[in-house]
Chain A
Amino acid sequence: MLNLKQRRRIQSIAMGTLGWLVALTIFFPIFWMILTSFKTEIDAFASPPQLIFSPTLENYLSINERSDYFHFAWNSVVVAFGSTIIGMLIAVPAAYSMAFFETKRTKSTLLWMLSTKMLPPVGVLVPIYLLFRDLGLLDTRLGLVIIYTLINLPIMVWMAYTYFKEIPKDILEAARMDGATLLQEIWRVLLPMSKGGLASTVLLSLILSWNEAFWSLNLTASEAAPLTALVASYSSPEGLFWAKLSAVSTLACAPILIFGWVSQKQLVRGLSFGAVK
């Protein structure tokens, strides 16, 4: 019979192994993508796949020759940050009123907002396309900012609402008694108290906007196309060039991965600093 200590030890090793397995499974495609991006096209096609090969940078060089990476990257930055900023400007007041001035319809409103996320986007593609065409928003960054703001708003409002709900109403009332205007109450009391949660909301919105492909592919051509559109352009028109496709994908993922990794540290700090009581 194993004693309790041994059982605990075996349990912890088993859980650790399982955790690593899951993590590696999730990470493997990214790892393989990065690896392939340094192979020649021939190595990339090799069967069985090679782990040992002579790395090359030719894919990255040819991408820069063929298309202006920074043009696409800049578009991604503008639409991701633009939609996140506008989204937060709408989500914070909306979540504030729903969290602190709840009516009997608040819960239904929240549910209704979330239900819009259940709709397949392709279902509204044609009307949105026609609207964008008539409003002159096709292939504009403004158009993408608008659509990203709209598709991310439900999640942003939900997240902000959840974080605000955890803040005692008394504290906001105390601010009101202290003479804070609505804006001061939100800016000087509510936001500092929920900064950790709001930072994760911002991060999520940035990631979702950065990675969004459906609308960017359908509503942009060249002028406003973000990185996701650049990646897509490598997959079909020129046939399948695995190595180049991997290189461009790596380039598209890298900025948001690095940004997420850096801000995650800030996030954890923010969360522990903002600990209530």
Chain B
Amino acid sequence: MADLTIKNLKKSYGNVEVLKGINLEINDNEFVVFVGPSGCGKSTLLRSIAGLEEVSSGEIFLDNKEITELAPAKRDLAMVFQSYALYPHMSVRKNMSFALELAGMDKKTIDDKVEDAARILELAPLLERKPKDLSGGQRQRVAIGRSIVRHPKVFLFDEPLSNLDAALRIQMRLELARLHHDLKATMIYVTHDQVEAMTLADKVVVLNYGQIEQVGSPMELYHHPANKFVAGFLGMPRMSFLEGQVIGTAQGGVKVQLDSGCTVEVPVSGAGLTNGSKVSLGVRPEHIHITKDNEGHFSGVLDVAEHLGSDTYCYVKTNAKESITVRISGDFSCNFGDTVSLSLDLSQCHLFDAQGQTIHKLNRAAA
């Protein structure tokens, strides 16, 4: 069992409030990812849970026991640092056994646990080496091994893959997913990489300016973002936003006059909206299609096209100088400066009010 509950957690450095009242429930066996832009407080939140950062107010409970004031070692958590933080003067074996030695375990048990972890992480041939003789990926595995041997209630990862090269990062990401499955442990993972967040998480916590913007499964956040920030943060390439204003509400949705010239009817609830309200229409690259001349909702000028083989990303400038990203098939051929006609899949579009809050979709509002 390892349920973590955070209640109204605040943290300030002098006058700067870094965490502004965090409330969060993390359930046993969950893989939770804290994601957000740099400076959003995600690392501070993780370090507060670890006990490395003193909190200004609020409470943290682990299995209904308050741990807010407890020393890091007494919390039964293990942490993997971004810099690996291996002890350079100790062999891999010593690095992994250090915590167990401090806990006063007997040598036989320690050896068994270290061998076990080394087997899981394929570190057995490296046990007698020093960290400086290891590659980046191997060091990262040692750092994970150091946590595994302790069988902590919760694993904490602070941007563990950001020092690795792209190929290794993907490999370690898969290994982490497998590890989570095998260990059935509660894991909290901090990253600014939304791909890691989407692929690893059971639950994603999106943070911005020291506040939680939204909590949910990756797909829930992707398809039903609570606000413009979450919508823009998750998804690769990012969601495009078209500014406009409401010109009428009807049974089928809200009529919006976009700055780029066209009028669209978005199937969202018109409650709270009046004619003239400023809104943004959010549309993901896969929900825009390039159509034949003048058959789309509006047209734009092709700025850049990136050919990735399987897909092509087209960056199109609208009349209102907004940039829209379109994802189309890989064999699409086009030239810079071409005028293209775009059609929107309006049932998949999101509408945000002037404060950036999502306006509920009609079908979802009913449900």
Instruction: Please report A residues at the B interface, Cβ cutoff 8 Å.
Output: 168, 170-171, 173-180, 184, 188-189, 192-193, 274-277
State which of A168, A176, A178 has its C-beta within 8 Å of the C-beta of B83.
A168
What are the 6 tightest A-B residue pairs by CB atom distance, in nearest-first order? A179-B73, A178-B99, A170-B85, A174-B85, A192-B89, A179-B102
With A179-B99, A277-B131 known as contacts, the answer to whether A173 contacts B88 (CB < 8 A) is no
CB of B250 to closest CB in A, whole Å = 58
Q: Which residues of chain A come closer than 8 Å to B50, judged between CB atoms?
A: 177
CB of B62 to closest CB in A, whole Å = 14
Q: Which residues of chain A come closer than 8 Å to B79, judged between CB atoms?
A: 173-174, 177
A193 to B86, CA, bound (A): 11
CB of B49 to closest CB in A, whole Å = 11
Q: Which residues of chain B come closer than 8 Å to A174, judged between CB atoms?
A: 79, 81, 85-87, 146
What are 13 A-B contacts with C-beta separation under 8 Å? Answer: A171-B86, A171-B87, A173-B52, A173-B79, A174-B79, A174-B87, A176-B71, A177-B52, A177-B72, A177-B99, A179-B102, A180-B102, A189-B87
**Residue contact B85 to A178, C-beta cutoff 8 Å:** no
Name, among B86, B88, B131, B150, the residue most crowded by chain A CB atoms within 10 Å (CB to CB).
B88
- Whether a CB of chain A sits under 8 angstroms from the CB of B229 is no
Chain B interface size band reads: 20 to 34
Contact mask for chain B residues 47-78; partner A; CB cutoff 8 A; 1 contact, 0 none = 00010100000000000000000011100011
Instruction: Please report B residues at the A interface, Cβ cutoff 8 Å.
Output: 50, 52, 71-73, 77-79, 81-83, 85-89, 98-99, 102-103, 131-132, 146, 150
A274 to B90, CA, bound (A): 10
**Residue contact B81 to A170, C-beta cutoff 8 Å:** yes
**Residue contact A173 to B85, C-beta cutoff 8 Å:** yes
State which of A178, A192, A276 has its C-beta within 8 Å of the C-beta of B102.
A178
A173 to B88, CA, bound (A): 14
**Residue contact B85 to A171, C-beta cutoff 8 Å:** yes
State which of B88, B89, B146 has its C-beta within 8 Å of the C-beta of A178.
B146
Closest residue of chain A to B79 (Cβ to Cβ) is A177
A177-B73, A184-B102, A192-B89 known; 15 other A-B pairs, CB under 8 Å? A168-B83, A170-B85, A173-B81, A174-B87, A175-B87, A175-B98, A176-B73, A177-B50, A178-B99, A178-B146, A178-B150, A179-B102, A180-B73, A193-B87, A277-B132
**Residue contact A275 to B132, C-beta cutoff 8 Å:** yes
A168 to B82, CA, bound (A): 12
A184 to B79, CA, bound (A): 19
Q: Which residues of chain B come closer than 8 Å to A277, judged between CB atoms?
A: 88, 131-132
CB of A176 to closest CB in B, whole Å = 5
**Residue contact B88 to A177, C-beta cutoff 8 Å:** no
**Residue contact B73 to A178, C-beta cutoff 8 Å:** yes
Q: Which residues of chain B come closer than 8 Å to A184, judged between CB atoms?
A: 102
CB of A183 to closest CB in B, whole Å = 11
CB of B190 to closest CB in A, whole Å = 14
**Residue contact B77 to A276, C-beta cutoff 8 Å:** no
A176 to B102, CA, bound (A): 11
Closest residue of chain B to A191 (Cβ to Cβ) is B89
Q: Which residues of chain A come closer than 8 Å to B86, judged between CB atoms?
A: 171, 174
Q: Which residues of chain A come closer than 8 Å to B85, judged between CB atoms?
A: 168, 170-171, 173-174
**Residue contact B77 to A177, C-beta cutoff 8 Å:** yes
A174 to B143, CA, bound (A): 10
Closest residue of chain A to B78 (Cβ to Cβ) is A177
A178 to B87, CA, bound (A): 11
With A170-B83, A184-B102 known as contacts, the answer to whether A176 contacts B52 (CB < 8 A) is yes
Q: Which residues of chain A come closer than 8 Å to B102, judged between CB atoms?
A: 178-180, 184
Q: Which residues of chain B come closer than 8 Å to A176, judged between CB atoms?
A: 52, 71-73
Q: Which residues of chain B come closer than 8 Å to A173, judged between CB atoms?
A: 52, 72, 79, 81, 85
CB of B52 to closest CB in A, whole Å = 5
CB of A63 to closest CB in B, whole Å = 46
A170 to B83, CA, bound (A): 7
